[in-house]
Amino acid sequence: RICYVNGQFVSESNANISIFDRGFLFADSVYEVNLVLHKALIDSQGHLTRLAYSLNEVGIPMPMPQDELMAIQRAIIEKNQLVHGAIYLQVTRGQDADRDFLPSKTIQPNVVIIPQPKNLLENPLADLGIRVMAFPEIRWAKRNIKSTGLLGAVLAKQAAVDNGFDDAWFIEAGLVTEGSANNAFIIKGNRLITKAPNAQILNGITRRAILTMATTHGLTLEERDFSLDEAKSADEAFVTSATMLVIPVIQIDETIIGDGKPGALTKQMRQIYLDTGLNHQLP
Ligand code: PMP
């Protein structure tokens, strides 16, 4: 793979970052995962706007204008002949001379961009659905910032897989916040229910696209908290993310959702997302 590191395109074996990088030492960094389908960036503007938001929230300067980041991502697609997959983009606060919580004022952000080829369109989980395990919300309080401090998500995912599940849903005070790396949705009748965006969740780019599509396809939208119990009694459930797109949830803990197969409306949501995927417009 050809990657981008601080102004240079390099092979992955030559892509190096200092051991004093603050992203490495403190997870003092933010990231984005941009979707690529048919060699095109999907909702890239949304991802870059969210990157700018994350950077601003933690006081890391935007390393370059958004259109330059866009151009680098396009170059990564070309240099790697990337057809379907993701582009991982990370900006750290930079590196100091030594490990110190207080960053020096003169450091420059480190920017790393990595292509991740994957046939996201033919994901077997789209037909199988996934089984999710409820897991206590152990992450920090600012989950609307896309920080690389992901230990909570790693532990949740590991626990889920160790227990025979595919993924975890975080539970806070009996309420579902989101999946380990995706947003959680339930459907009851023709009502699509998902948590309203606040600091408890990452406001997914795919989530926003789905909400726009859902209302134009006759679903009633309820952006509100929902409990684990309500989720278990839902007709359908699914998760969204840039790399999963829309993936049905067929089981939560020991409870089978609906008839244990991907729900009809969920499948429709995935299809609509794919059909319109190259022209997503965020509100
Ligand atoms: N929530 C979390 C915690 C995530 O890590 C992700 C994926 N980055 C999402 C939601 C989904 O966001 P998006 O649709 O922008 O990929």
Using a 6 Å cutoff on CB, does residue 241 contact ligand 1?
A: yes
Using a 6 Å cutoff on CB, does residue 44 contact ligand 1?
A: no
Over the chain (283 residues), the average pLDDT of each successive run of 10 is 98 96 98 95 95 98 97 98 97 96 96 97 96 98 98 98 98 98 98 98 96 91 98 98 97 98 97 77 39
Domain 125-279 maps to which CATH number in 3.20.10.10, 3.90.1150.10, 3.40.720.10, 3.40.50.360? Answer: 3.20.10.10
User: What is the rounded CA–CA span in Å between residue 47 and residue 34?
Assistant: 7
The pLDDT assigned to 217 comes to 87
Residue with the nearest Cα to atom 10 of ligand 1?
Answer: 182
CA distances from 95 to 6, 10, 18, 52, 103 (A): 12, 20, 7, 20, 8
Distance 9 CA to ligand 1 centre (A): 27
What ipTM describes this predicted complex? 0.99
The pLDDT assigned to 216 comes to 86
3-state DSSP assignment of residue 176 = strand
Which class does domain 2-118 fall in?
Answer: alpha beta
User: What is the rounded CA–CA span in Å between residue 28 and residue 234?
Assistant: 38
Distance 97 CA to ligand 1 centre (A): 33
Catalytic site positions = 146
Pocket test for ligand 1, best of 155, 180, 182, 206 (most atoms within 8 A of CB): 182
User: What is the rounded CA–CA span in Å between residue 183 and residue 178?
Assistant: 5
Neighbouring CB atoms inside 10 A of 253's CB total 14
Using a 6 Å cutoff on CB, does residue 193 contact ligand 1?
A: no
The pLDDT assigned to 282 comes to 41
Domain layout of the chain by residue ranges:
2-118, 125-279
Single-letter residue type at 240: T
CA distances from 74 to 4, 200, 230, 240, 264 (A): 11, 32, 43, 24, 36
pTM of structure? 0.96
Helix (H) or strand (E) holding 4: strand 2-5
Q: What is the DSSP letter of 160?
A: H
Using a 6 Å cutoff on CB, does residue 54 contact ligand 1?
A: no
Residue with the nearest Cα to atom 7 of ligand 1?
Answer: 181
User: What is the rounded CA–CA span in Å between residue 181 and residue 143?
Assistant: 11
Handedness of CA 159, 156, 119, 13 (dihedral sign): negative
The pLDDT assigned to 277 comes to 63
The pLDDT assigned to 105 comes to 92
The pLDDT assigned to 278 comes to 56
Using a 6 Å cutoff on CB, does residue 46 contact ligand 1?
A: no
Domain 2-118 and domain 125-279 have a common topology:
no
The CA R_g of the chain, rounded to the nearest whole Å, is 19
Neighbouring CB atoms inside 10 A of 14's CB total 11
